[in-house]
Amino acid sequence: MLRSGGLSPTDPLVARRRGNARLAAAVAGALALLAFLGRSSDPAAQRLNPEAPLTLGAALALTGNANLYGQDQRMGISLAQGWLEAQPHPRRVALQLEDGASDEPSAIAAFNLLIRRGVIALIGPTLSQQAFAADPIAQRQGVPVVAPSNTAKGIPQIGSFISRVSAQSSVIAPLSIDEALRREPTTRRVAVFFAQDDAYSTAKTAIFQKVLAARGLKPVSIQRTQLADNDFQNPITAALQQRPQLVVISAQAMDGGNLIRQLRELGYRGQIVVGNGLNTPNIYPICQRWCDGVLIAQAYSPELNTPVNLAFRRLFAEANQGRTPGQIAAQAWTAYQVVFEAIQRVQKRGGFEGLTLGEARQQLMKELLSGRYDTPLGPIRFRPDGEVVQGRFYVAKVRMDSTGRNGRFTLVREQELPEGTP
Amino acid sequence: MIDNGLLVQMILGALLGLSVYLPMAAGQLSLATPAFYAVGGTLAALLSTQGNAQSAISLWAVLGEMLLAGCLTAGLALLVGLPVLRLRGIYLAIATIALVEIVRVAILNLPFTGGAAGIFGIPQPFQKPFGYVLFSGALLAVCGWLFQRLEASRLGRSMAAIRDDELASRCMGIHTTRVKLTAFLASAVLAGITGVIAAHYLNTWNARQGSFDVAITTLAFVILGGSRSWLGPVIGGLLLTALPELLRPVGDLRLVLFGLVILLGPVFFPQGLITPALLERLGRWKP
* For residue B52, pLDDT beyond 90: no
Report ipTM for this prediction.
0.93
CA A317 to chain centre: 22
Amino acid at residue number B90: I
B69, containing H or E segment? helix B59-84
The answer to whether A151 and A276 are in contact (CB under 8 A) is yes
Burial A199-237 (b: 16+ CB within 10 A, else e): bbbbbbbbbbbebbeeeebebbbebbbebebeebeebbe
Amino acid at residue number B181: L
% of chain B with per-residue pLDDT over 90: 85
> How far is it, in rounded angstroms, from Cα A380 to Cα A368?
12
Interface of B with A in 60-99 (CB under 8 A): none
Give strand pairing partners of A7.
none
pLDDT at B68: 98
The answer to whether A331 and A380 are in contact (CB under 8 A) is no
pLDDT at A319: 95
pLDDT at A41: 61
**A236-257: average pLDDT:** 94
Q: Is the peptide bond before A125 cis (omega within 30 degrees of 0)?
A: yes
- Residues across chain B: 287
- Residue B77 to chain A, least CA–CA distance (Å): 25
Burial class (CB in 10 A: 0-12, 13-18, 19+), A43: middle
Please report how many Cα atoms fall inside a 13 Å half-sphere around the Cα of residue A157, on the Cβ side. 9
Within-domain flag for A242: yes
Name the residue facing B152 among A2, A39, A159 (closest C-beta). Answer: A2
**A200-210: average pLDDT:** 89
- Residue A24 to chain B, least CA–CA distance (Å): 7
> How far is it, in rounded angstroms, from Cα A244 to Cα A265?
15
The answer to whether A223 and A235 are in contact (CB under 8 A) is yes
Contact A16 B280 (CB under 8 A): yes
Q: Are residues A150 and A248 in the same domain?
A: no
Name the residue facing A4 among B152, B154, B231 (closest C-beta). Answer: B152
Strand order in the sheet with A54-60: A93-99, A54-60, A121-123, A145-147, A162-164
Within-domain flag for A17: no
Confidence band of A422 (pLDDT split at 50, 70, 90): very low
**A55-65: average pLDDT:** 93
**B120-138: average pLDDT:** 93
Name the residue facing A202 among B115, B154, B229 (closest C-beta). Answer: B115
Q: Are residues A152 and A92 in the same domain?
A: yes
Write the Ramachandran bin of A63: left for phi over 0, alpha for psi from -120 to 50, otherwise beta: beta
> How far is it, in rounded angstroms, from Cα A200 to Cα A326?
18
Q: How many domains does chain A have?
A: 2
- Read off the CATH number of the domain in which A271 is found: 3.40.50.2300
* For residue A32, pLDDT beyond 90: yes
Q: Are residues A254 and A373 in the same domain?
A: no
| Those residues with Cβ within 8 angstroms of residue A25's Cβ, 6 or more apart along the chain or in another chain | none
Main-chain phi, psi angles of B211, to 5 degrees:
-105, 175
Burial class (CB in 10 A: 0-12, 13-18, 19+), B98: middle
Burial class (CB in 10 A: 0-12, 13-18, 19+), A264: buried
For residue A337, what are the domain limits? 54-167+305-390
pLDDT at A322: 87
Tell me which DSSP letter residue B208 carries: G
* For residue A20, pLDDT beyond 60: yes
Measured distance between the N- and C-terminal CA atoms of chain B, rounded to whole angstroms = 31
* For residue A173, pLDDT beyond 90: no
Within-domain flag for A26: no
pLDDT at A9: 56
Q: Are residues A272 and A406 in the same domain?
A: yes
pLDDT at A2: 47
CA A6 to chain centre: 63
Main-chain phi, psi angles of A153, to 5 degrees:
-70, 140
% of chain A with per-residue pLDDT over 70: 96
> What mean pLDDT, rounded, does chain A reach?
91
Within-domain flag for A7: no
Interface of B with A in 4-23 (CB under 8 A): 4-7, 9, 11
Angle of CA points B107, B112, B114, to nearest 5°: 65
Name the residue facing B130 among A2, A14, A35 (closest C-beta). Answer: A35
Q: Are residues A378 and A248 in the same domain?
A: no
**A399-421: average pLDDT:** 82
B73, containing H or E segment? helix B59-84
- Closest-approach residue (CA) in chain B for A137: B203
> How far is it, in rounded angstroms, from Cα B197 to Cα B44?
8
> How far is it, in rounded angstroms, from Cα B89 to Cα B78?
19
Q: Are residues A358 and A410 in the same domain?
A: no
Within-domain flag for A30: no
Within-domain flag for A8: no
> How far is it, in rounded angstroms, from Cα A387 to Cα A159?
11
**Three-state secondary structure readout of chain A:** CCCHHHCCCCCHHHHHHHHHHHHHHHHHHHHHHHHHHCCCCCHHHCECCCCCCEEEEEEECCCCCCHHHHHHHHHHHHHHHHHHHHCCCCCCEEEEEEECCCCHHHHHHHHHHHHHCCCCEEECCCCHHHHHHHHHHHHHHCCCEEECCCCCCCCHHHCCCEEECCCCHHHHHHHHHHHHHHHCCCCCCEEEEEECCCHHHHHHHHHHHHHHHHCCCCCCEEEEECCCCCCCHHHHHHHHCCCCCEEEEECCHHHHHHHHHHHHHCCCCCEEEECHHHCCHHHHHHHHHHHCCCEEEECCCCCCCCHHHHHHHHHHHHHCCCCCCCHHHHHHHHHHHHHHHHHHHHHHCCCCCCCEHHHHHHHHHHHHHHCEEEECCEEEEECCCCCEEECEEEEEEEEECCCCCCEEEEEEEEEECCCCCC
Within-domain flag for A19: no
**B136-152: average pLDDT:** 95
pLDDT at B53: 54
% of chain A with per-residue pLDDT over 90: 71
- Residue A410 to chain B, least CA–CA distance (Å): 32
Q: Are residues A278 and A265 in the same domain?
A: yes
Q: Are residues A157 and A177 in the same domain?
A: no
Tell me which DSSP letter residue B119 carries: E
Name the residue facing B204 among A132, A198, A203 (closest C-beta). Answer: A132
**B113-118: average pLDDT:** 87
Q: Is B248 on the interface with A (CB under 8 A)?
A: yes
CA A420 to chain centre: 22
Q: Are residues A131 and A185 in the same domain?
A: no
> How far is it, in rounded angstroms, from Cα B199 to Cα B37?
10
> How far is it, in rounded angstroms, from Cα B177 to Cα B2?
42
Give the number of other CB atoms < 10 A from CB of residue B53.
14
Within-domain flag for A332: yes
B125, containing H or E segment? none
> What mean pLDDT, rounded, does chain B reach?
93
pLDDT at A404: 87
Contact B1 A197 (CB under 8 A): no
Q: Are residues A279 and A313 in the same domain?
A: no
Interface of B with A in 104-123 (CB under 8 A): 108-109, 115-118, 120-121
Confidence band of A353 (pLDDT split at 50, 70, 90): confident
pLDDT at A50: 87
Burial class (CB in 10 A: 0-12, 13-18, 19+), B191: buried
**B142-163: average pLDDT:** 95
**A315-343: average pLDDT:** 94
pLDDT at A380: 95
B180, containing H or E segment? helix B176-202
Q: Are residues A399 and A276 in the same domain?
A: yes
Count of CB pairs separated by less than 8 Å, A with B: 165
**B44-72: average pLDDT:** 88
Positive or negative, the Cα torsion across A33, B269, B33, B179?
negative
Q: Is B254 on the interface with A (CB under 8 A)?
A: yes
Residues of B in contact with A37 (CB under 8 A): 1-2
Q: Are residues A127 and A261 in the same domain?
A: no
pLDDT at A4: 46
